[in-house]
Structures are given as C-alpha cells and as structure tokens.
Amino acid sequence: MENDDRHVQPPGSILLAATPIGDIRDASPRFVRALGEAQVVAAEDTRRLLALAKRLDVRINGRLLSLHDHNEGERAAQVVSMAEGGARVLIVSDAGMPTVSDPGYRVVCRAVEVAVPVSALPGPSAPVTALAVSGLPSDRFSFEGFLPRKDGEARRHLTSVASMPHTLIFFEAAKRLNETLVRMADVLGGHRRAVVCRELTKTHEEVLRGELTQLMAQTRGEVLGEITIVVEGARGVCDAQDHVGAVLALVAEGMRLKEAAAEVAEATGARKNDLYKAALARRDKEM
C-alpha cells in the first residue's frame, strides 16, 4: 500500500474530531495525525487534551484555544475567522463528538453562514454506543441529552416525550441518576424498560437492564462515572396510571388538576378523564 502524503484536512476548513469516551485505543490514526497537523486546536478542556495527546504520544504543534459552553458564543467568530484565513482548525470535546451535548454547535453555525467548509472525523459516541449495547430497538431513536435540573422542568420535558414510540437516550450526572430514574418512572411509567450504561469502554464498564422501578432500586446507593440512560419508546396502549406522577407534579407547581390532566393527556395519548380520576384518587389517598 502506498503512503498517503495528503493532510487529514485541507487548509481553510474546520474539522470536528471525535475523542475516545474511555479507552484511548479507540483514537483513530487519522485523529492522531489531525492533532499534529492542525494549525489551530479548539478544545473543551485544554489540560485534558494535552494529557490525551501525551498518552497518544503526539505533539500538538498548532495554536491551542479553549472552547467551552461559557465562551463559545464570543469565541465562535474568532475560530471561524482563523479558518477563513486559511488555517486548519480542529475542534475537540472532552469525550465523543463535538456538538453532541458538547461545544462546537455555534462554531458550525457561524461557519455555515460564511461558507467555511466543515467536516467530521468520526469516532466514539456515547449515545450510539449505549444504544448498541442496550438491547432496545435501534431503528428509530431520539437523543435528548441532559434533562433540566429543576424538577418541574425535567418532568415537563419527560411528559413531552412520553408518547414517542421510538427509543430515548439521555445523559445524566452520576449524583442525579437515581432521582432522574424516579422522575422517569413517575412520568413515563415504572414498567417501561430501560438500560443504565456506566463508564462505557472503560475498565469498570457496567450495564444495568430492567424496568425503571427496578433500576431505581439498583441505583439508590453511591454511583460513580459517566452515565447514559436508554429508555424504550411508548407502547401501544397508554395506561393512565403510568402518568399520574406527571399530573401531580404539574399540580404541585400550581396548575389546576383538570388542566394538568389535559396537558399530560395531550402529550402522552392517555385519556384525560382517566388521568383526572387516577390523579384525584392518588392525591386523596396521600392526603
């Protein structure tokens, strides 16, 4: 096979490069070469990238910039301007593909506006990896990222996706895993199948499978590591009992019971009257 002396990316372009989500052996030869060839490297965490480069035994020769959630808005134009000037700009996040719940989206939007070429160097991706090992349907899926931190907002978001028939994928912090599973059981229904993937591709990789109520019980203690949750889509017949928690959560925020039942019914496909009666019965029982 002849040696390919071409650069990984052409001048005046932006390359989104996927980084390992755990095992550094997942770094492709193209990624290693791109790190050395890039004239500008925009990284979510420059210290982590330097540590990765050292482990991969590659020297970063280009200018190193930080590009994270807090500065991307103001730095996007600068990064794109460097590419407009002819530089090879490489964008990397801490793990996985940039722009997928990671920095890079604003840069890509700006680049598209000014017709700067954007390409991707494919590689590891936690959502797709978790979906592949989950055993849940993978023909259609929706990546939902992180749920809002506030309980009411999180439950509203879950309510909005409760009736979707395709598989749902979420990221979550380890310390919030159990409370998120509790919300999911309340809003989506405790019998819905789900998979919790922890530390994918790493030494202590763990995959927990079961219904949401079962996973709640398995995660009550301390949980560490990076977490991805995969949840099956809605099944054919919608049981009002599965969504009573969502109705009562809206009531707790100040919404009238009938209005809350109507909103959840519209989102889930459950019958409004069934939701109202079931929520009223549970509320009276808990009083």
Q: What is the CATH number of the domain that holds 201?
A: 3.30.950.10
Q: Is pLDDT at 64 greater than 70 in this prediction?
A: yes
pLDDT (mean) for 77-98: 97
> What is the CATH number for 72?
3.40.1010.10
| pTM confidence score | 0.80
The answer to whether residues 269 and 184 belong to one domain is yes
pLDDT (mean) for 238-256: 84
What's the pLDDT at 4?
61
Q: Is pLDDT at 2 greater than 70 in this prediction?
A: no
Residues 234 and 225: their CA atoms lie apart, in Å, by: 28
Q: Is pLDDT at 1 greater than 70 in this prediction?
A: no
**Residue with tokens 């969504």, as numbered in its chain:** 243
The answer to whether residues 96 and 64 belong to one domain is yes
The answer to whether residues 180 and 191 belong to one domain is yes
What's the pLDDT at 245?
85
The answer to whether residues 146 and 280 belong to one domain is yes
Q: Is pLDDT at 5 greater than 70 in this prediction?
A: no
The answer to whether residues 154 and 90 belong to one domain is no
Domain-embedded: residue 2:
no
Contact partners, residue 1, CB within 8 Å, separation at least 6: none
Query: 3-state class of 237 per DSSP?
Result: coil
pLDDT (mean) for 3-31: 91
What's the pLDDT at 236?
64
Domain-embedded: residue 148:
yes
Domain-embedded: residue 1:
no
What's the pLDDT at 240?
78
Domain-embedded: residue 8:
no
The answer to whether residues 230 and 107 belong to one domain is no
User: Which of 84, 107, 124 is the endpoint of a domain?
Assistant: 124
What's the pLDDT at 121?
96
The answer to whether residues 113 and 218 belong to one domain is no
Q: Write the pLDDT tens digit of every residue in 204-244.
A: 999 999 999 999 999 998 899 999 999 999 976 567 787 88
Residues 282 and 278: their CA atoms lie apart, in Å, by: 6
Beta strands in 78-162 (DSSP E): 88-92, 118-121, 141-146
Q: Write the pLDDT tens digit of every residue in 173-209.
A: 999 999 999 999 999 999 999 999 999 999 999 999 9
The answer to whether residues 186 and 274 belong to one domain is yes
Residues 215 and 207: their CA atoms lie apart, in Å, by: 11
The answer to whether residues 106 and 146 belong to one domain is no
What's the pLDDT at 106?
97
The answer to whether residues 148 and 260 belong to one domain is yes
pLDDT (mean) for 106-132: 97
pLDDT (mean) for 24-42: 96
Domain-embedded: residue 56:
yes
pLDDT (mean) for 40-44: 97
Q: Is pLDDT at 41 greater than 60 in this prediction?
A: yes
